[in-house]
């Protein structure tokens, strides 16, 4: 699996647009997203195993509710699974929890990106619940993977992004607005 310090793989995938444009239907709802899209921004790329399941929409909706917080931090969200753009669109149309999703849903149908990242479940052949924070230079700064049966906490992704953007030492459970660690001050106190 690719991890912190690795370059995020090059990709070019069809996606369902976020927002109301994503509900217009085939031919209008789809566009291409690549590793060069949204250049200069932080990227939050998260994968779920399958559309039309039970845990996945809870996570996707939770990321959607935090979309403005990510945007305020100059970060764009991309959600992805190995399902097609047609399945993504149908799921959005028929699931009220993700109907108004504000970010793109990437279709990794050939499993090229999930394979390059090393996040395919060996038994099921679908993406694990993987989350990556990628800096504006395309370098992975945080990676987290859950098994198929355990959801993740998108608020923790916001917290980690905040910490990464300070470019300072952040203690356990550090939150934006609190002091970072200052090693010189810590040694003087001892």
**Which residues are part of the catalytic machinery?**
56
Cβ 15 vs Cβ 105: under 8 Å? yes
144: which strand partners?
A: 131
Q: Where are the beta strands (DSSP E) in the chain?
A: 12-16, 30-34, 42-47, 75-81, 104-107, 129-134, 140-146
Distance CA 126, CA 109 (A): 10
Classified as helix, coil or strand, 64 is: helix
């Amino acid at each position: 699996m690719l991890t912190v310090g690795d370059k995020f793989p090059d990709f070019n995938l069809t996606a369902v647009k976020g927002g109301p444009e994503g509900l217009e239907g085939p031919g209008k709802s789809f566009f291409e997203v690549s590793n060069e899209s949204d250049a200069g921004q932080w990227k939050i790329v998260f994968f779920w195993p399958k559309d039309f399941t039970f845990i996945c929409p809870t996570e996707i909706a939770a990321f959607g509710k935090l979309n403005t917080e990510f945007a305020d931090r100059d970060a764009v969200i991309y959600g992805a699974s190995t399902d097609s753009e047609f399945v993504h669109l149908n799921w959005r149309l028929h699931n009220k929890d993700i109907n108004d999703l504000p970010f793109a849903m990437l279709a990794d149908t050939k499993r090229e990106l999930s394979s390059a990242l090393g996040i395919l479940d060996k038994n099921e052949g679908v993406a694990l619940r993987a989350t990556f924070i990628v800096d504006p230079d395309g370098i992975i700064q945080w990676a987290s993977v859950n098994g198929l049966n355990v959801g993740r906490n998108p608020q923790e992704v916001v917290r980690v992004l905040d910490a990464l953007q300070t470019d300072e030492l952040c203690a356990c459970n550090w939150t934006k607005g609190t002091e970072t660690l200052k090693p010189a001050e810590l040694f003087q106190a001892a």
